[in-house]
Structure 1
Amino acid sequence: MNILVVCDVFGDNTNGTMVAQNNLINSMRKRGHHVSILCADQNSMGQPDVFVCPNLNVGPFNSYVEKEGVTLPKPKRDIIEKSMEGIDVVHIMQPLLLGPKAASIAYEKNIAITAGFHTQAENVSAQFKLMGVEAVNKTLYKYFWRALYRYCDAIHYPTQFIRNIFEENIQYHTNGYVISNGVLPIFRKNPLAQRPKEWEGKYLIVFSGRLTDEKNQVQLMRAILLSKHKDKIQLVLAGDGPLKEKLIKMGESLPNKPYINFFTRPQVVDLMSEADLYVHAAVADLESISCLEAICCGALPLLSDSPKAAVSEYSRNTHCVFKCGDDEDLARHIDWFIEHPEESAQIKTLYNDFYKNYNFEHCMDRMEQMIKDAYRYHTEGHKKPIDLGE
């Protein structure tokens, strides 16, 4: 099949959506499909099968956008139409600027459309310090529906959790497929991994993910300050993002200076293989591939119970879940794990087969089948929500 993947944000694997879209593109090509890309990444200009729209100039906000590590696309109809020549299915990654425009044009051209659900309302509202305002989040979900998802023959949800949230907000049962983005086989415990000498004798706590408000690294830092064992804790934040400087400044108050940096995949594997505890404190997270990767590498997880995050569903023991927003509760959980090494080791064994639920190739097989199903639905004349007046 000829598949066009539309990426509002495209480039290196610096966040979960980029990881998911790059994995999807590579996997569909591996399965024999011809995959083209529509994006606004100027560094990809001239590459085969890549169609590049210009960047959107937002004037005084350009520096803020750059700080977020993204470029905003300026949808150009002629480029979008060119990218769709000979295409069987258009797959859209996000409901931002480029995705909705591509969906409306694909609909006009009678091309089958699928889309992934990789953006929570909170990912957008957090940029304006409105993450906790439910009316704003509900409005955003309704916008996502009107702008993109009602055009789709099929929708990919990485978790049942986010499907439930979206369908509850739009009051509509979608033609959805719940398929994990999957965890690459590289993410397995490395028995040869060694921690740096400066961390020897420390209790190593790790958190992997974008450094943003919704990932909530600040709560983890505050909780470590409250820990009875703060002097022996070494914190590592694996990631990059707009809060990096703030977190570095906060880290100056900890007895042991946190290590905050972006890690390559092999480095993440070694880090998680050596971690004593992996803490995922996110307020909002629709699947959290970084959390899944950590657990698959053998890290013992301590997970946020936020109703906006899917991660608590990965828990296999009550000790592995803490109250999101409650610094003292998180500190108590950290202290319990430090003070109970034998019980911690026993709990860790509960996750030995965890990786089997997120077999990457199986997940990509299901993604391929979803795309094929959508093409069949479309060619058979099945009605889309927009055709039904939804």
Structure 2
Amino acid sequence: MFQLFSQLFKEESDIIQVLESLSNSGNIDLLLSFPMWSRFALESRNGNIIDIGTKISSLCIKWYETMVSVVTNQSNGENLVVIFCQQLSAISFVLKERNDIYSKLLKIFKKRISSLPLDRLFLATSFIHELEPHIVKDFKKFLLSKLKASLDNTTDEDTLIKIISQICNSPDSSLRVPNRLCQVVLSKFWIFLLNATGEVKELLDNSCVKRVREKISQLVCTMKDKSIKTGLLSELVEYSNDRLINCINAVIGPEGKVITNEMLDYFRENLRGHSNIVQNLDFFYSKWCVKAVDVQFYLDDLTEKKNNSTFLEMSQPRHWSIHEKIIQVSRKAYKYKYSQTFVNVFEANTDEETQKKRASGVAGH
């Protein structure tokens, strides 16, 4: 049906009339179809896309207001926050250069969900993490402000535990973090907790907090002497320097300055080179050496180096010794990863016997 849009509605006035009708509808299904109809309306008007795009943008406000109202009144227990966020994401292609329209939709969204209980907001964190990044960011900012206000007004010592479990949609007894959005919220909580001052003796004596502080101290030691595993280090440097330093300083103390921006940048730069070599080799072995008699030996060694070698070992001259003859070839071959021509040339010039040689023999060929 959507694909027939350009054939069904040829005049701009007809298109706008259809979208106006949808934006005023009292039917949930029709309202939720508005973003898709809008997309096809834009795609069907190549010549007047700017003009019609402006009109559609203005219709978005009316549509979103109506959708929020109708969904609220007719929903049967669905998570309203998730639906509202999903629709913001669905219409975002119209709003790419219309921050003013997006701001108005966001205002409608915040106004509607501001009266919802916190547990409804927390539940949404498990479902909206894959939406448009700016929508996730704005929701996270709103959620954290509501969370702060709630904590400021609570005297129940178990409230925080309940909140954490609700954020992750997980039982109180065994926390499971379902996605990166939840992880970010919790990591900020830990930094906040570890930096606590004042009446904190009982907090610092807590076995869980002690264990976390001990693990961070051990981590710092391995970073200082470069015995940290490359797999773990790769995960760490995905975070910003500020976040890592704040977390470490909470345990070691800022006066120690054991982990610096320069050190983290050094780790990150060297890991990038290491990661590129692993990527090139892995592709080469998996793509071009499938029939090689010793390919599994090379792949196993590569996995070991990727996850379990230390940063210090990674820096040693002989770290890549068994792959040394193949690294240069793999780097060149990776450039043609998506080239069917390269595949054809390789297959035409490499017979069955050559492909069954040792991996180094395939590379030499």
Same fold (TM over 0.5): no
Instruction: Report which of the two structures shows the higher radius of gyration computed on alpha carbons.
Output: 2
**TM-score after normalising by structure 1:** 0.24
Normalising by the residue count of structure 2, what TM-score does the alignment of the two structures yield?
0.25
Structure 1 or 2: larger strand share?
1
- Structure having the larger proportion of residues in helix: 2
